């Protein structure tokens, strides 16, 4: 099976590298990482060990594959969609944070499936990614129901020894993942602590309240996500990834732009439309945006 992974940062390299054990994988990412993968292969260590030799490109335009996985940061979704629109794919599946799939659907002809993952990945050096936690991958139809393409993607993962689920309840899972991101990412980035310390420590109340707000939005959109289930998801993921730093905590530590708009922006925009109150998400969004502005990463 030919697989293109568009956005080979930490997570994309981990997932693409694992798939390369059984498939013909092309990673699309940035130099010097891609150059090193081309020269010496991709080394995966940590919870999984592998040394694989996927193709590594810095330009993902005009390619073709059976499956394109989109793993860019959520704020790069527009450029990812533009590049993928020049290629030919049987199916496209996003494994990003935030609710990005609608943007792919609007820009692309092939069917787009939604995906979630809680794998932990960190780029250690060019050509070297660490698996900081084996999580769960779920793929399925954006609007819910069992899609035969999800079963096909599931087999692609299974053939490479990666556990995945073809899910019929993707609308709910997307909001559950958004609740996890809203609960963990902002508080952990601001407090500069691990996922476990975030939910288990003084910021735990903020994390749980942010998750409840996402559940409220989900219900306002007709998706059955109870407050208790959103909170359970935050606690479970924090437990499973206790020693990890969230992607937003890593971004802030590295002085990089964060996914604040794709996570908290997605919550507050929907709250505005639905007339739902989300004060915790608004506060976290404002403070993280203030940090980005102070760093010269945004102009507001």
Annotated catalytic residues are 177
List, edge to edge, every strand of the sheet that includes 42-46: 50-52, 42-46, 128-133, 120-125
Identify which of residues 110 and 265 has a Cβ nearer to ligand KPL in the complex.
Answer: 265
Which window, 59-67, 100-108, 177-185, 198-206, contacts ligand KPL (CB under 6 A)?
A: 177-185
- The owner of tokens 């059976």 is 66
C-alpha 145, offset from chain centre: 21
Shortest distance, position 120 Cβ to ligand KPL, whole Å:
6
Which residues fall within 8 angstroms of residue 286, CB to CB, at 6 or more apart?
none
Identify which of residues 44 and 56 has a Cβ nearer to ligand KPL in the complex.
Answer: 44
Q: Which of residues 195-224 bind ligand KPL (CB under 6 A)?
A: 195
Instruction: Report the SS3 class of residue 234.
Output: helix
What is the C-alpha to C-alpha distance for residues 168 and 138, in angstroms, rounded to an integer? 10
Please identify which residue in 241, 258, 268, 280 interacts with ligand KPL, judged by CB under 6 A: 241
Please identify which residue in 71, 118, 198, 280 interacts with ligand KPL, judged by CB under 6 A: 118
| Residue 92, both tokens | 């496209």
Q: Which of residues 34-93 bind ligand KPL (CB under 6 A)?
A: none
Nearest-CA neighbor of 113 among 83, 138, 135, 88? 138
Count the neighbouring beta carbons within 10 Å of the beta carbon of residue 42: 27
Q: What is the CA radius of gyration of the chain?
A: 18
Q: Is 97 in the site for ligand KPL (CB under 6 A)?
A: yes
Q: Is 247 in the site for ligand KPL (CB under 6 A)?
A: yes
Which window, 168-176, 180-188, 196-204, 278-286, contacts ligand KPL (CB under 6 A)?
A: 180-188
Q: Largest Cα–Cα distance in the chain?
A: 53
What is the C-alpha to C-alpha distance for residues 65 and 24, in angstroms, rounded to an integer? 9
Which window, 58-66, 70-78, 165-173, 179-187, contacts ligand KPL (CB under 6 A)?
A: 179-187
Shortest distance, position 175 Cβ to ligand KPL, whole Å:
14
- The owner of tokens 């533009």 is 82
Identify which of residues 83 and 182 has a Cβ nearer to ligand KPL in the complex.
Answer: 182
Identify which of residues 247 and 268 has a Cβ nearer to ligand KPL in the complex.
Answer: 247
Footprint of ligand KPL (CB under 6 A): 97, 118, 120, 180-181, 184-185, 195, 237, 241, 246-247
């Amino acid at each position: 099976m030919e697989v293109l992974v568009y956005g080979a940062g930490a997570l994309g390299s981990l997932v693409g590298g694992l798939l390369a054990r059984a498939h013909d994988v092309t990673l699309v990412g940035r130099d010097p990482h891609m150059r090193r993968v081309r020269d010496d292969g991709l080394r995966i260590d940590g919870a999984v060990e592998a040394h694989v030799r996927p193709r590594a490109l810095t330009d993902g335009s005009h390619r073709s594959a059976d499956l394109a996985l989109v793993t860019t940061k959520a704020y790069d979704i527009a450029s990812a969609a533009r590049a993928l629109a020049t290629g030919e794919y049987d199916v496209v599946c996003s494994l990003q944070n935030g609710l990005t799939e609608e943007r792919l659907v609007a820009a692309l002809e092939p069917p787009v499936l939604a995906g979630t993952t809680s794998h932990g990945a960190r780029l250690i050096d060019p050509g070297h990614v660490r698996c900081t936690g084996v999580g769960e991958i779920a793929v399925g139809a954006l609007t819910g129901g069992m899609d035969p393409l999800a079963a096909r993607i599931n087999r692609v993962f299974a053939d490479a020894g990666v556990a995945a689920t073809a899910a019929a309840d993707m609308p709910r899972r997307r909001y559950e993942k958004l609740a996890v991101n809203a609960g963990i990412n902002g508080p952990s980035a601001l407090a500069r602590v691990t996922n476990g310390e975030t939910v288990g420590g003084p910021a735990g109340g903020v994390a749980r309240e942010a998750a409840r707000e996402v559940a409220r939005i989900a219900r306002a959109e007709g998706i059955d996500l109870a407050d208790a289930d959103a909170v359970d998801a935050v606690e479970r993921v924090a437990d499973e990834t206790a020693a990890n730093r969230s992607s937003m905590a890593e971004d802030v530590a590295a002085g990089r732009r964060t996914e604040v708009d794709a996570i908290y922006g997605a919550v507050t925009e929907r709250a505005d439309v639905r007339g739902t109150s989300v004060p915790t998400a608004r506060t976290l969004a404002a403070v993280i945006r203030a940090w980005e502005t102070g760093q010269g990463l945004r102009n507001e």
